[in-house]
Structure 1
Amino acid sequence: MNGRDEARHVGQVKEVTSLTNPVVKDIRALAQKKYRDQQNAFMAEGLKLVIDALDLGWTIRTLVFGKSQRGNPAVEKIAARTVATGGLVLEVSEKVLGAITRRDNPQMVLGVFQQRWHALKDFKPAGNEVWVALDRVRDPGNLGTILRTVDAVGAKGVILVGETTDPFAVETVRATMGSVFAVPVAKASVDAFLAWRKAAGVTLVGTHLKGSVDYRTVDYKKGPILLVMGNEQQGLPEPIASACDTLIRIPQAGRADSLNLAVATGVALYEIRRHALPTIGKDMA
């Protein structure tokens, strides 16, 4: 396709039925991290997620919807918004949607968006804010669930420390239920994270199996608070654990020796927010 053809197709609604269509191939490739990185893009499934992303100012590159959605006012509206910003709109068969999403019963709407990372230096905790750092989180479902929980409790952002799973992976985005568009995310090495933490002046609270303090007994009003959670298998590495102002533990009565990372993060976050914002319990009752 030459430049003149590309210019003619940008912002136009195209009907696609072939899996060999080059645009469809590019979207399908987003299932792999290397192609997400190359294209600086990712895929989000579902009408609500696409609307949320557009409302929050994310850049949509391609909107894809099934033929059954033709005439749906909500879909037509986001198609018009996509066209207005120079994006491409594809009307496809259910077979093509299934191939893109790798699902037998796919969502009828999906969007391809430009990735958005925040610079760590732009994270400036203040007041009674709560932030979260995750060290080498590996499971996309865990990361997605944590982003959703961070959004739900009103925490301000997430720092991914070390080699972590991709927040823009299809599985992660699905697990966030749209919160990937609402929660600022930065990434950093351990050294960069520790240097930032020192300059930011946050109270660093880490969960650790060797933590001697019950998470329910800590005074979390010494904000801003940064909750740091360790890798699913290995927990917090020594450099980060040593830098914590408090190492907490979540008591367990059963035979399990640990909690799922996302569950533990949720338990700790709600307790921290309960102290930082006493009305949160009433708001969420």
Structure 2
Amino acid sequence: MSERLITSLTNETVKAVRALHMRKERQQTGRFLAEGLKSIGEALDLGRAPRLLLVGQDARPHPLLDRARSETIKTGGEVVIVTHAILEKISRRENPQTVLAVFDQTYLPLTGIRPESAPCWVALEQVRDPGNLGTIIRTADAAGCGGVILIGDCVDPFSTEAVRATMGSIFAVSISRATVEDFLAWRATWPGAVVGTRLDATVDHRAAALTRPALILMGNEQAGLTDRLAAACDVNVKIPMRGRADSLNLSVATGIMIYAATEGL
């Protein structure tokens, strides 16, 4: 399939891609938007080709861009050339990336998780901030975690804001989702330590015995871990606060816990 040019802001393809900012549209189509050659390159390295590649008219020549074009077409996707105004409209930014892409979403079912394949996994209960979630996914990737499990009513990991915050790690880290009931039933089979964080915990996070594979369980940004999920942990720990602040940002706290669980590797 040859490339085609789109210049109209009201083009149906432009409307369809822009609609991926809405969760309902992402759920109905099973697709999401990724921005920039770095993220697209991560996808290509992991065998994920775009369904649709949008290239700005002012995009500079680059070997990775040539590869993205080639692999998109080879796998049955479409490449379109678009104006700067279209890139701005789709990305909702005044200085958009010059290359955007639409990918299929992928989730790993709980039954597909192999705990021993990584030293640490992360489970998040009702996380609501897309920036936090994206940063946690990126940190999990950097530390070599096996994946991130979303419990209950969480923000969409494939929202544009969350995907941006992952910096391409959305393609490298497996994402699972579960109801509280399904998670608790599955957790009963976990072979290593399950550790939660609570402000009212008495055990220092550095003193906990984190038998691998460790499953780090983190709660909501405002309310923290619920009593029900805290009770399902082998141990609940706290991260000491030495200054006036009484708590940490969720993504920062999760990063500390991840590296505590993977320390020495």
TM-score range, shorter chain: over 0.9
C-alpha displacement of 1:167: 0.4
3-state DSSP of counterpart to 1:173: helix
In structure 1, what is the equivalent of residue 255 of structure 2?
A: 266
Deviation sequence 1:147-205 (CA, Å, 0-9, x none): 00000000101110000000000000000000000000100011110110102333110
C-alpha displacement of 1:238: 1.1
Pick the aligned partner of 1:28 from 10, 18, 31: 18
Unaligned runs of 5+ in 2: none
Deviation sequence 1:220-266 (CA, Å, 0-9, x none): 2x221100000001111111101110100000011211100000001
Structure with bigger gyration radius: 1
In structure 2, what is the equivalent of residue 43 of structure 1?
A: 33
In structure 2, what is the equivalent of residue 235 of structure 1?
A: 224
Which letter maps to 1:146? I
Q: How far apart, in 2, do the equivalents of 1:74 and 1:172 lie?
A: 23
Pick closer, same or farther for the CA change 1:70–1:271 going to 2, 3 Å: closer
Report the aligned-residue RMSD: 1.3
Unaligned runs of 5+ in 1: 1-10, 281-285
Whether the 8 Å contact between 1:127 and 1:223 is mirrored in structure 2 is no
Q: How far apart, in 1, do the equivalents of 2:70 and 2:60 lie?
A: 13
3-state DSSP of counterpart to 2:107: coil
In structure 2, what is the equivalent of residue 149 of structure 1?
A: 139
Pairing 1:100-179 to 2, within 5 Å after superposition: 100-126=90-116, 129-179=119-169
Q: How far apart, in 1, do the equivalents of 2:95 and 2:140 lie?
A: 29
C-alpha displacement of 1:69: 2.1
Whether the 8 Å contact between 2:118 and 2:146 is mirrored in structure 1 is no
3-state DSSP of counterpart to 2:70: helix
Pick closer, same or farther for the CA change 1:91–1:203 going to 2, 3 Å: same
3-state DSSP of counterpart to 1:243: coil
Pick the aligned partner of 2:75 from 85, 88, 101: 85
Q: How far apart, in 1, do the equivalents of 2:190 and 2:111 lie?
A: 9
In structure 2, what is the equivalent of residue 203 of structure 1?
A: 193
3-state DSSP of counterpart to 1:244: coil
Pick closer, same or farther for the CA change 1:71–1:227 going to 2, 3 Å: closer
Query: After the TM superposition, which segments of 4 or more aligned residues of structure 1 sit over 4 Å from their partners?
Result: none
In structure 2, what is the equivalent of residue 65 of structure 1?
A: 55
C-alpha displacement of 1:93: 0.6
C-alpha displacement of 1:77: 2.4
Whether the 8 Å contact between 1:41 and 1:115 is mirrored in structure 2 is yes
The count of corresponding residues between Structure 1 and Structure 2 is 265
Pairing 1:188-227 to 2, within 5 Å after superposition: 188-220=178-210, 222-227=211-216
Deviation sequence 1:116-156 (CA, Å, 0-9, x none): 11111111212762100000000000000000000000010
Deviation sequence 1:31-90 (CA, Å, 0-9, x none): 000001111100000011111112212242100011112644432221111111110101
Q: How far apart, in 1, do the equivalents of 2:129 and 2:145 lie?
A: 21
Q: How far apart, in 1, do the equivalents of 2:216 and 2:70 lie?
A: 41
